[in-house]
Structure 1
């Protein structure tokens, strides 16, 4: 058995409308499927979405046809959701390929804005070859990690931390010497200096924790 982390890249036509919201809606940055079952072509998931809960629920209601859903804001810059929805042909085939008695799918399954779906598997080499044959040709599969344990990131930036660090980077805050001050970054973010400092500090701590492979205790 091997732990393999793969990226499955959808096209605009193959990605499920619910998961495509991450790719097409401003204010949303990542979706993680924490729990999933598929029965009789209907997918039931519990998800965590990074972004504004109101934006997500509005997009979910207006841009998709959902059998059943509930959205639960987590009090910060994300939300959990419970969704039941019928799968289309491509996603049904993908679900079938990943449902095997000898295969373990390690949550979370992640959807990114570039239509990549990141999945960690514990699988035999033979089963993995069979999976690749069963995944529809319209989808692109890339192996991004192989190991003896699931290759899952231990630390993640929140959407606000990512925006703050990107703004700081683009304005030269991380240049040596710096070409932007913390006050200027805060002005770009339209927040207080203390808020900008906190977002940058926590984001930096999260990245360092990931690099060192330790638990991030400041989140």
Structure 2
């Protein structure tokens, strides 16, 4: 088994409208899919959105998503519960990833350039089958290949834990905050974008552990 980090690049026609919001609206920056399940053509998902919760909820209303709830996380983020029927294209994409020898490790990340970033744990043979079965309209790029994932019970990587601890010590989690993301990045001698990614992944892992999902 190997851990494979990939990017799937959608077109304007293939990306789901709610995920396209990240690409099209200036007040929505990134979306993390923390948990999802597929059954009878319907997707049930728990997400975290970086951006204006009101903009996101209005989009859900306009798109007539079958079921949803939005839980604001301050003024610049929110969690959401969504259940909606997939169109034929997204059903075929989801089918390519529904196999016994495959685990999708959350979070799945949607970026403004229409890329979908996800981590798979699978065999080389099964990954080859996935690349052959995904719809031709999208492209797939391998970002990294690593050894088998961490043992169960280790919620955070050492790098994520260090980022969380540094942010805590500096006051990033105080209300109101006494340190911003730039201060945490400076302390860690790392780029702001890299630290933001580390913290979001750590938060997603902690949420998944608390909810008992994703493993």
Match of 1:173 in 2: none
Cα shift at 1:88:
1.1
Match of 1:32 in 2: 32
Match of 1:113 in 2: 112
In 2, are the aligned partners of 1:10 and 1:115 still within 8 Å (CA)?
yes
Taking the aligned partners of 2:40 and 2:121, their CA distance within structure 1 comes to 25
Match of 1:79 in 2: 78
1:104 aligns to 2:103 (yes or no): yes
Unpaired runs of at least 5, structure 2:
151-156, 164-176, 204-215
Cα shift at 1:26:
1.6
Structure 1 window deviating more from structure 2 (67-76 vs 113-122): it is 67-76
Structure 1 window deviating more from structure 2 (134-143 vs 73-82): it is 73-82
Q: Deviations over 1:109-130 (max 9, x none)?
A: 1110111000100110110010
Cα shift at 1:197:
7.1
Cα shift at 1:204:
3.8
Q: Write out the 4+ residue segments of structure 1 that deviate beyond 6 Å after TM superposition.
A: none
**Secondary structure of 1:208 counterpart:** coil
1:19 aligns to 2:1 (yes or no): no
Mark the CA change 1:204 to 1:89 in structure 2 (over 3 Å): closer, same or farther: farther
What root-mean-square deviation, in Å, do the aligned CA atoms of Structure 1 and Structure 2 show?
3.1
Taking the aligned partners of 2:184 and 2:94, their CA distance within structure 1 comes to 36
Q: How many residues align?
A: 177
**Secondary structure of 2:190 counterpart:** helix
Taking the aligned partners of 2:22 and 2:148, their CA distance within structure 1 comes to 28
Unpaired runs of at least 5, structure 1:
158-194
Q: TM-score, normalised by structure 2?
A: 0.73
In 2, are the aligned partners of 1:121 and 1:150 still within 8 Å (CA)?
no
1:68 aligns to 2:50 (yes or no): no
1:201 aligns to 2:183 (yes or no): yes
Q: Look at both structures and tell me which one has the larger radius of gyration over its CA atoms.
A: 1
Cα shift at 1:154:
3.9
In 2, are the aligned partners of 1:120 and 1:150 still within 8 Å (CA)?
no
In 1, are the aligned partners of 2:53 and 2:75 still within 8 Å (CA)?
no
Taking the aligned partners of 1:24 and 1:111, their CA distance within structure 2 comes to 12
Mark the CA change 1:18 to 1:37 in structure 2 (over 3 Å): closer, same or farther: same
Cα shift at 1:99:
1.1
**Secondary structure of 2:99 counterpart:** coil
**Secondary structure of 1:99 counterpart:** coil
